[in-house]
Amino acid sequence: LKALREERRLSLREAAGRAGIAPSFLSKLEAGKASPTIQSLVKVLEALDVDVVTFFGDLSGGGELPVVFPRAGMRALEGKDRTFWYAFPAHRDARLTLTYEEYEPRSKVREEEQHATDLCGYVIGGELSLEIPGRGSWKAKAGDAFYLRAHQPHVASNEGPKKLKLVVVQMR
């Protein structure tokens, strides 16, 4: 993270401000003395103009973009109460990020987030609680879809008794 920040000629304060986190927390992340939540990592990477797939992968592409992506090859990002599987590799020709996400019942993590591009999703199971500060709160049940505009602050959580399972698509 520090190398990415310095490559972009951002001070610790500037990068932390863009990510909406405390400079002291970013310093600890860079030094390996703190572990971020999934949302915190996404915030920092987006502040550095890097998506998660690129951060954990190799954009060399290695030839033509595959047609099928076996689950065994998907990268998992695990956080407290939730896991995201990134379906597509970091390939120069992949223009979308597709994640399969699971939130444990009554997940404790409630963190405001926003994304650099529009995203949409489909709830496979459970119930997604979605809050947009200043606009309201919604519940999306199995079979429902949702759409969030770029830079729209929101909080996504699972307040229900069942595991929440959803698929999310975002432009890269």
Which pTM value belongs to this model?
Answer: 0.70
Burial class (CB in 10 A: 0-12, 13-18, 19+), 42: buried
As a whole number of angstroms, the distance between CA 74 and CA 98 comes to: 10
Residue 77, helix vs strand vs coil? strand
Q: Given this model, what pLDDT does residue 62 score?
A: 59
Q: Given this model, what pLDDT does residue 1 score?
A: 83
- Picking from 98, 106, 110, the residue whose alpha carbon sits closest to that of residue 171 is 98
Q: Given this model, what pLDDT does residue 137 score?
A: 96
Note the pLDDT tens digit of each residue in 54-92. Answer: 676 654 455 778 888 888 878 888 888 889 888 887 677
Note the pLDDT tens digit of each residue in 101-144. Answer: 999 999 877 788 888 889 999 999 999 999 999 999 999 999 99
Secondary structure in 3-state letters for 40-68: HHHHHHHHCCCCHHHHHCCCCCCCCCCCC
As a whole number of angstroms, the distance between CA 127 and CA 133 comes to: 19
As a whole number of angstroms, the distance between CA 101 and CA 109 comes to: 14
At residue 161, does pLDDT exceed 80?
Answer: yes
C-alpha dist (Å) from residue 28 to 21, 77, 97, 138, 167: 12, 20, 28, 35, 31
Q: Given this model, what pLDDT does residue 21 score?
A: 86
Residue with tokens 């929440």: 164
As a whole number of angstroms, the distance between CA 56 and CA 80 comes to: 19
